[in-house]
Chain A
Amino acid sequence: SQQGEEDPQALSIQEGENATMNCSYKTSINNLQWYRQNSGRGLVHLILIRSNEREKHSGRLRVTLDTSKKSSSLLITASRAADTASYFCATDGMGYNKLIFGAGTRLAVHP
């Protein structure tokens, strides 16, 4: 299985702090994607990092990928209350295959 698993399962921080979430997976991948889900809502695509990339930035988001350790991390800098959500990593194989999602990290950012 290419299953991604995130840790921690839950993270509680204060506004302005950085939040780091980790994801591990089991098999080779072409790319890894991170999504955000507000409670009971849809999945918002945050960032895609390819297997030949090591780091990618998008606004306050920084994603790293270590294919030798089969792991990725998502860093949200200067967090805001609006960042409160669940964050999922999803891996795929070749092309437009199915995405395999992890269980997610529930992030709570307190004002």
Chain B
Amino acid sequence: EPEVTQTPSHQVTQMGQEVILRCVPISNHLYFYWYRQILGQKVEFLVSFYNNEISEKSEIFDDQFSVERPDGSNFTLKIRSTKLEDSAMYFCASGGRAGGSYGEQFFGPGTRLTVL
């Protein structure tokens, strides 16, 4: 069964460094998302992406964050200058396959980002 994949599974970085988190959504899906979950807290929406542009973003998604779909398969989240509070599990999700149930979002396994 198709699934969302994410790399790396764990990323450790120094404060102020740039990180790029990578995702391969399910083929034929049209909508892509990033969420994050700080340890012990709720899953929070960051950004949604459709038709090669951001469709919605949260207040968390400030100028330090950017997303890109550089080719037909990858979807990336870049954090330009990481802060300690960016430490979290980052989830990619996709949805909207042709003929699929309206609104379902399927999540990847996550990338655990640790900022030191």
Interface segment, B12-20, B64-72, B75-83, B103-111?
Answer: B103-111
CB distance from A87 to the nearest CB of B (A): 12
Query: DSSP majority for the B interface?
Result: strand
Chain A residues within an 8 Å CB radius of B103:
30-31, 33, 48, 92, 95-96
8 A Cβ contacts from A25-52 to B: 30-31, 33, 35, 40-45, 48, 50
Seen from chain A, the residues whose Cβ lies within 8 Å of a Cβ on chain B are 30-31, 33, 35, 40-45, 48, 50, 88, 90, 92, 95-104
14 sampled A-B residue pairs with Cβ under 8 A: A31-B102, A40-B112, A42-B109, A44-B107, A45-B104, A48-B103, A88-B43, A96-B48, A96-B96, A96-B103, A98-B58, A99-B43, A99-B45, A99-B105
How many residues in B have their beta carbons less than 8 Å from beta carbons of A?
28
The minimal Cβ–Cβ distance linking A75 to chain B, given in whole angstroms, is 20
Chain B, residue nearest A97 (CB): B56
For the complex, what is the distance from the CA of A90 to the CA of B101, rounded to whole Å? 15
A98–B45 touching, CB < 8 Å: yes
**If the complex has contacts A97-B48, A98-B33, are A45 and B107 also in contact, measured as CB distance less than 8 A?**
yes
